[in-house]
């Protein structure tokens, strides 16, 4: 018996750190962003698909994300075309992980889980959450991040309060200690559910 947990949350809420806590505790973790990075490598299926749509965004190293961003900014119609070819490849990558990961608890780190309507694919969903001021502070500390960029990203994401309300579990990432405590509580609850399944 396996348990598939969707892990989501808005930018700067501590999702990557939380995914690492699950991994440290023996859970298998699939990361949507890492999957895209892999697909964008030189000669990978994703890079070939992007090359067909936007050759200028692909170099000998694979997809150049900055060039791709610039191309999308210039021609917004490109984005749905890119999503149409990349999303099925990401889904294929996820299915492969599902078929091979043997841990009892498998965690799927997906930033836009609710936005893409994927929640039904999981046994439960956990949302990472922190106060808005802390989120802003974390995101603006990233290289090349501006207030304007942050607002654009947030505009594409479901408000965090709404994500938390729709989730089975909420992980408080205000501090490392609160995140650890919540991850431990969730794992204990899932193990209990598995033992009674």
What pTM was estimated for this model as a whole?
A: 0.89
Q: Which two tokens stand for residue 184?
A: 């431990």
pLDDT digits (tens, 9 = 90+) for 173-191: 999 999 999 999 999 999 9
Contact 161, 114 (CB under 8 A): no
- Give the pLDDT of residue 157: 87
Is the pLDDT at 104 greater than 90? The verdict is yes
At 29, the pLDDT band (50, 70, 90 cuts) reads very high
What does pLDDT average to over the chain?
93
pLDDT digits (tens, 9 = 90+) for 33-50: 999 999 999 989 999 999
Is the pLDDT at 2 greater than 90? The verdict is yes
Dihedral sign (CA 86, 87, 90, 96): negative
The mean per-residue pLDDT over the stretch 132-157 comes to 89
Edge-to-edge strand ranges of the sheet holding 28-31: 28-31, 105-109, 3-8, 124-129, 169-172
pLDDT digits (tens, 9 = 90+) for 162-171: 999 999 999 9
Kindly list the structural domains of the chain, giving each domain's residue range(s) and its CATH number in brackets, ordered by start.
Answer: 1-27+104-197 (3.40.50.300), 32-102 (no CATH)
The mean per-residue pLDDT over the stretch 103-111 comes to 96
């Amino acid at each position: 018996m396996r348990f598939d947990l969707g892990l989501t949350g808005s930018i700067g809420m501590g999702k990557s750190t939380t995914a690492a806590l699950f991994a440290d505790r023996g859970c298998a973790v699939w990361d949507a962003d890492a999957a895209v990075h892999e697909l964008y490598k030189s000669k990978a299926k994703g890079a070939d698909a992007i090359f067909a749509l936007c050759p200028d965004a692909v170099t000998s190293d694979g997809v150049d994300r900055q060039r791709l961003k610039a191309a999308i900014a210039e021609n917004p119609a490109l984005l749905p075309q890119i999503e149409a070819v990349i999303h099925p490849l990401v889904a294929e990558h996820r299915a492969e992980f599902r078929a091979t990961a043997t841990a009892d608890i498998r965690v799927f780190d997906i930033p836009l889980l609710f936005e893409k309507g994927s929640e039904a694919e999981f046994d439960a969903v956990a949302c990472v959450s922190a106060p808005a001021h802390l989120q802003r502070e974390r995101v603006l500390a990233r290289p090349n991040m501006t207030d304007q960029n942050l607002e654009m990203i947030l505009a594409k994401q479901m408000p965090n309060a709404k994500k938390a309300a729709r989730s089975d579990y909420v992980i408080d990432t205000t501090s490392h200690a609160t995140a650890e405590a919540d991850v431990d509580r969730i794992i204990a609850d899932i193990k209990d559910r598995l033992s009674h399944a």
